Structure 1
């Protein structure tokens, strides 16, 4: 067994000299605030992305929205712009394919110099789900899900960490996973999606282990969020299957589906100073689905 140690990693006896970001030094009212920070959201044109963008703008942060379309097409995009105007925040939308490593590097290099506040956070919402029996599921579709859900999350997190390292700025990264990373979805064939979300859990833990304990870079906390079923346009088709809504509703302890706005507080918590001692964790917000 090798006894070579990485000199850049804090050992178990390491004691951080500076005080933690959270704690009693920060007023309770500010623990969810994101003033003076820029937060990047991938998949920002989707139902969850726009909801979180509004929440971050309302909490004092500037937002850079990244997604595939050349311009935002979300039905509620005007609400996002209204929130930016109301709170005198800076809102940017930039097209991005999160699976294209060269494009990720180029896009970050282009928007970083234009920011008013330093990049202090990332929320990875970009993800896709494809259903179908595993016995004849196309491997090309399986690989596409892994590429978007896992490789895309890694590339966005990597680019964010590189900028935080360059600017010597600490921050927080939130990867949106799923309760499906823990359990199978009864009544729906989603082997590839479930596998990809389990990978996101492990990716978050592994990045947290690297970026929370290195002496040669600023502290970067990495956590994941695991939503339960959300009632959106994206789930509408699946809910048309006879008996599916009753099953999904009955599968959790609150006997209902969630709405996108119920994930605002969890994400603001993980991005802000209120979660200063939280990293490498998964915050499961599933109505008790996985706790039966």
Structure 2
């Protein structure tokens, strides 16, 4: 069981949004402000949020829906991000053993990623954790609270990265199947990408599929089979679409790539579906959960599930 009371999240929302041309914290994705999305990411699993404010603070606080947070005002926000980190760290509760550090402009990180980081942190207290996606560090890192004094007292050149670099022995990478740990909204073009990502949020993209397979330790031979199944399923889907049927091609391709993610485990269909549900992709898990044998009431089975089932049977 996760022990979320040990953790807090410092959300950095004090900056100028200068390259965006808009006020980033109050921009909306799916009708919800960026700031509310980040707050909910942590509060919904019981992690306390300290939101650091600065530029346009009154507008920000008036514009968000979630107020079950602690506000840390940073009057020195114009001096750079480190001052905001320091302002947030000073507000950490005494019970906090480690804290997440999250810029407000990274709004689509998955709850499954936070749960995974908490689970690893529970087993590795006192470590600095970096979510890792396809060999790149993302956000939010998890930082032990015993570094708070060093952070708040830092007056040397450089920011937080310089401080953490002094503690390489504490650092650990945590692979995650979440490309959104790398997806910030620095400019309008970045925000447009986030909007497109949100439209397909329930479907892992190809890189996320690879990350899921990596984390699960799926053998190369099984992956090669899955790629062939994906190609066949995609071709069948295109043919049906051309004939006038409605087919969600991206769901089909993702499910085909991942249908044997748990191959070798007992009841690998159910095991694979559980892996995908845990990663935040329940819909894809539903499709692969019956890829060996469809239910008797075939009319109740959606077309995407049928396509993956059929393609798997066509590939030797």
Please confirm whether the aligned pair reaches a TM-score higher than 0.5, indicating the same fold. Answer: no
TM-score by length of 2: 0.31
The structure showing larger relative contact order (alpha-carbon pairs under 8 Å, at least 6 residues apart) is 1
Which structure: larger Rg? 2
TM-score by length of 1: 0.33
Which has the larger share of helix?
A: 2
